[in-house]
Amino acid sequence: MHRTELDEMQVQKRNMVGNQAFMLLFYLLLIDIGLNGFGFRWLQYPMNVFVNMLGCRTYYLIRIIWNNSYVGPRTKTKNIGRQIGLVVGLASFVAGTAAYLEKDSLRIPLSTGDNGAMILFVFSIVLFIVLAIVSVITKWQAKNDE
Amino acid sequence: MSKNLKMKSSRAAKDMSQKDLADATGVTRQTINAIEKGDYNPSIKLCISICKVLGKTLDQLFWEDDEDA
């Protein structure tokens, strides 16, 4: 067995949670369409679809981490600090390059009229919340080890 | 499903922890724990792997008599 892969119980649980999350997404989108048909619009498109997808994704992530099906039976974890440094460095490089190449257009205020900024903001907040929950679950599981 | 006390006692007789057995068989400690508690029904491939590590046969570890069930 490859050391970085999930074992058989983890695969079974991940598949089970994945199926549940998919069905949850399906019914949430169906309900959303139904509500829209009755004239009740709780959020503007595409924010409503995005919120549904984000909710299901969050449910999926939390459930697979709760069931210990996110990381396979590896003997040693990779250096996470180096990976974070690489990602931050790469993001800084891309941002700096983009700002340099588009420095003239950056002075012109843009208004596209869509919900892109709000989606990005909500996604960032939810991502931080998920990270916090993952951290709590990991510590709780480590405490319950034999 | 009932608890697999035979596997637990065989592991203890070998002075192995759940983590040691998990590392030897290539699964997580939680999987070994679930098998011992009877919460998970392992595949025949994993059963054989566990038997080889513990030096037992499939019958000795996984066969359930009527009084065991």
**Residue A90 is part of which domain span?**
78-107
DSSP A33: H
| Other CB atoms within 10 A of residue A73 CB | 21
pLDDT > 90? residue A34:
yes
In a domain? residue A2: no
Do A45 and A69 sit in the same domain of this protein? Answer: yes
In a domain? residue A132: yes
Q: In 3-state terms, what secondary structure has residue A3?
A: coil
Distance from the Cα of B28 to chain A's closest Cα (Å) equals 5
Token pair listed for A83: 């990976």
Give the best residue of A4, A9, A11, A13 to mutate against chain B (max B CB count within 10 A): A9
Contact A8 B27 (CB under 8 A): yes
User: What pLDDT digit, counting tens, does each position of B16-66 carry?
Assistant: 999 999 999 999 999 999 999 999 999 999 999 999 999 999 999 999 876
Q: Is the four-CA dihedral A85, A134, A61, A128 of positive or negative sign?
A: negative
A68: chain B residues, CB-CB within 8 Å: 28, 30
Give the best residue of B18, B20, B31, B36 to mutate against chain A (max A CB count within 10 A): B31
Query: What pLDDT is attached to residue A3?
Result: 45
* DSSP secondary structure of A98-141: HHHHTTTGGGSPP---SSHHHHHHHHHHHHHHHHHHHHHHHHHH
Please tell me the distance from the alpha carbon of residue B14 to that of residue A143, in angstroms, as a whole number. 25
Mean pLDDT, to the nearest integer, of A46-69? 91
Query: Contact, B25 vs B49, CB < 8 A?
Result: yes
Q: What's the ipTM?
A: 0.87
Q: Is the pTM of this model over 0.80?
A: no
Give the pLDDT band of residue A81 (cuts 50, 70, 90).
confident
Do A27 and A99 sit in the same domain of this protein? Answer: no
Please tell me the distance from the alpha carbon of residue A126 to that of residue A123, in angstroms, as a whole number. 5
Residue of B nearest to A2 (CA): B26
Token pair listed for B1: 């499903």
Do A45 and A117 sit in the same domain of this protein? Answer: yes
Residue of A nearest to B25 (CA): A1
In a domain? residue A37: yes
pLDDT > 70? residue B2:
yes
Query: Contact, A50 vs A70, CB < 8 A?
Result: no
* Count of domains forming chain A: 2
Query: What pLDDT is attached to residue B49?
Result: 96
Contact A145 B40 (CB under 8 A): no
Query: What pLDDT is attached to residue A111?
Result: 60
Do A65 and A125 sit in the same domain of this protein? Answer: yes
Do A55 and A86 sit in the same domain of this protein? Answer: no
Query: Contact, A114 vs A121, CB < 8 A?
Result: no
In a domain? residue A19: yes
A144 touches chain B (CB under 8 A): no
Mean pLDDT, to the nearest integer, of A36-59? 90
Give the pLDDT band of residue B3 (cuts 50, 70, 90).
confident
Do A98 and A123 sit in the same domain of this protein? Answer: no
Residue located via tokens 């959020």: A43
Query: What pLDDT is attached to residue B56?
Result: 95
More confident residue, A3 or B57: B57
Query: Contact, A18 vs A77, CB < 8 A?
Result: no
CA dist list (Å): A67 to A16, A63, B32 = 11, 6, 14
Mean pLDDT, to the nearest integer, of A13-40? 94
More confident residue, A52 or A87: A52
More confident residue, B33 or A80: B33
The CB-side HSE value for A37 (13 A sphere, CA atoms) comes to: 6
In a domain? residue A3: no
B23: chain A residues, CB-CB within 8 Å: 73, 75
pLDDT > 90? residue A9:
yes
